[in-house]
Structure 1
Amino acid sequence: MPNLTAKINKGETISMSNEILLALKWRDRREVHMLTNKHEDKIIALDKKDFRTKEQIKKPACIVDYNANMGAVDRSDMMLSSTECVRKTVKWYKKLFFHMVDLAILNAHALYQTQNPEKVPLADFQLKIIRQLIERYNTPEPNQKIKPMTKNP
């Protein structure tokens, strides 16, 4: 990986590429790093103008393409943010597992919404799933007999 640690100003880019990959660092409000095998290192002028400088806004082609096509992922992240079950844990694989469970529930909710006319909020749908899983797989613990304490002579 290229070393893209140099400080840059807003609107500037640093990039390195070979015949397969382009690694790019661009600064807008904050630094953005991109690694792509689809784009070239070129800047695209947008139809919008900066309200302060009145200059045409320019962005790298990979950033423009990313912004145009990431609506569904951003929307799913937004929907999951309020109901996510991920907790602080050191184990990365636990976070990944629970994130996959959350994504599966989100996808199930989307499928449910296409088949049923009633609109059920995601949190309520998640609660119904949890209750159904508890009803189905909860096994009552066997009654434990409590032995009375005896005094040793």
Structure 2
Amino acid sequence: MNKNGVKVIKWVDKRQILMISTLKEDKDVLVNTGKKNRKTNEDIKKPTCVLTYNNNKKGVDFSDQMSSYYSTLKRGLKWFRKVGMEYLLGMALVNAWITYNVKCDKKVSKKEFTEALMQSLTGKSICADSKYNDV
């Protein structure tokens, strides 16, 4: 750790993990996770920053999972355009879908929400049997 409080940590659990932490209360000790190793029956211990990360990453994982189902990526684009499209459009779409489901009484699937959004933005029907043709 340097004098500004930035700590670089390398932790090996199932894989190597490299982390940069600025937690003030982060100590150099291992904390018991409350779980036991199945083979050796020893307590599993991890650094505090790893436990904090694991507890707080759930929203990011959910967002990544939802944006991967119906990706906004297109074949033939250069890699930096793909990254921009995925982060800008994919994340915006997932955030709009979650906000819509929180605010409205009627819950819709991400596919239905995406189709309705595309139809409202383009003014064209997605497919002939779409249930949004009458909107």
TM tier, shorter chain? 0.7 to 0.9
Match for residue 91 of structure 1 among 60, 66, 79:
79
Aligned residues: 120
In the TM superposition, residue 87 of structure 1 has moved relative to its aligned partner by 4.5
Task: Say which SS state the counterpart of residue 41 (structure 1) adopts.
Answer: coil
Q: CA separation of 1:90/1:40 partners in 2, compared to 1, >3 Å: closer, same or farther?
A: farther
Unmatched tracts of structure 1, length 5 or more: 1-16, 137-153
Query: Residues 46 and 59 of structure 1 are in contact (CA less than 8 Å); yes or no, is this contact kept in structure 2?
Result: yes
Match for residue 37 of structure 1 among 1, 8, 22:
22
> Which structure would you say has the larger Rg?
1
In the TM superposition, residue 96 of structure 1 has moved relative to its aligned partner by 2.5
Task: Say which SS state the counterpart of residue 18 (structure 1) adopts.
Answer: coil
Per-residue displacement from partner, 1:38-60 (whole Å, max 9, x unpaired)? 13333111211111110000111
TM-score of the pair, normalised by structure 1: 0.70
Per-residue displacement from partner, 1:60-107 (whole Å, max 9, x unpaired)? 111001011111111111111211213464432541343221111111
* In 1: Cα distance, 2:13 partner to 2:73 partner: 30
Runs of 4+ in 1 over 6 A off after TM superposition: none
Unmatched tracts of structure 2, length 5 or more: 125-135
Give the match for residue 57 of structure 1.
44
Report the RMSD for the aligned CA atoms in angstroms. 1.9
Q: State the identity %.
A: 28
Q: Counting helix residues as a fraction of each chain, which structure ranks higher?
A: 2
